[in-house]
Structure 1
Amino acid sequence: MSDTGPGHDPIRGRTALVTGAGNGLGRAMALTLGARGARVVLVGRRAQTLGEVAAEIDGPTRTAVCDTSSPEQVAALGEELAGEEVSILVNNAGIAGPVASLIDVTPSEWDEVFAVNVRGVYLMCRQFLPPMVARGAGDVVNIASVSGKRPLPNRTPYAASKMAVIGLSTTLAYEVGPAGVMVNTLSPGPVSGPRMTRNFALEAERSHTSVQEAERAFVSRAALGRMVTESEVAAALVAMLQMPGLCGADIDLSAGMVAR
């Protein structure tokens, strides 16, 4: 952040690029950044959903279709956005992957999860960090997860990929921090919404229990006995962008799913 003086708003007037912005957490974070006065660039795989989210933002927006796991598409995105001064990069795009024991996960399923959840973060950082480094300012927030910080049976590809994002981010912070670019991870716990509902249905089928029982068993691990909400995650993102000196950090927001 280039100015941290009294009265400075660290978000208003900046351009924020959010991947996976067409739904879920991406949508919530894009809406919140827009409400805080940022120019939001919404990136995702489906033009229609991106347009629908953009229409909800009362402020300047831009949408771009891109599969962030594709080097060619990310390079094309960089050319498309060459006129934008992206100073906030939120790498949120990700997939949940299979719900199965490790021995039942196929190599193609494993590779797909890492392609989207890890390679996508690498490619987006590789594309959009150089201008930030040249300007001597910028914020990168990579969305990880508390998964992997405590056992999450039958979700090894997802847990491993999200821990890889944390490792990538902490190391990258030391590479670009001296240039004034802040790199951090935000690690939500289970977020209430359609994705978790699908996961509970899959777990219920696998364990021969009800969806309600699968959900209760999962949230019982949290100190607050509940999941976090999309709006809480978006608020945490804003808080991180308002914290000068936050670099190389991994912020847990899990309703107590992880306490350390």
Structure 2
Amino acid sequence: MKRILVPTDFSKHAEYALKVAAQIAKKNDGEIFLIHMLELPTSGNDALSTSHEIPELMLFKDAAVNKLDAIMNADYLSGIKISKIIQFELAFDGILKNGKTQNADLVVMGSHGAKGFQEMFIGSNTEKVVRHSDIPVLVIKKEEENFNVNKFVFASDFSDEAKKPFEQASAFAEKFGAKLHLVNINTPNNFKSTKVAQQIIDDFISEFKNTNLSTHIYNDVNVEKGILHFAKSIDADLIGMCTHGRKGLAHFFNGSISEDLVNHAKRPVITFKI
């Protein structure tokens, strides 16, 4: 968490994300890359519909620069190394590309909740960023004046492919001194006895040294509701899960569970790529 990428569309939810990123950066002596994407108007296959729009685009860029400069002078960013990036590119593409070029190890984004992401994350961008980012993505839902993670829920099927994401989740938890609550959601369509489910979790964690954790088996009608209800039952500070990228989520997470959780959870959500 030394190099944190924060996309902004200048909304209040983007500011919530930036404030959390600032807290994380201060705790880890990290730096922030604040990015804003200016999406180009298109006409057919042309990048710019007409040349006379170029001056107008420059005006938008200048306005964005001024807004970023104002944000960077905020008191809560004092003492943090921060760089601004403005590019003419689709938001989704720009976020993923800058994550790689800046060698970021965390992306922090703001979200409206059930209504999806603020303006720059319209439509499928929610799913794309969360599912396709190789870098962990932390989604912030509301203002967090004191972002502390004491109870960290990590939901999984505890298959071999979840081992790498679990290592990342463990490292994140360790940075905050958080206790990991590992949970397997038992559903009617994929039911396992408590004994079998517990054995799967025990075998999974036997390879790791993390001792600040507890294991749980939680029954519910589906995976999404199970994760949300379990997190609420222990008053969790953060929910973590795995994503599969272009292949969709791990077989534990069917359909659109990633975007559903990001949209419906009232708590912060962090995703780790398998």
Q: Is the TM-score greater than 0.5?
A: no
Task: For CA contacts below 8 A with separation 6 or more, give which structure has more relative contact order.
Answer: 2
If each structure's helix is expressed as a fraction of its own residues, which one has the higher value? 1
Larger radius of gyration: 2
Q: Shorter-chain-normalised TM-score: which range?
A: 0.3 to 0.5
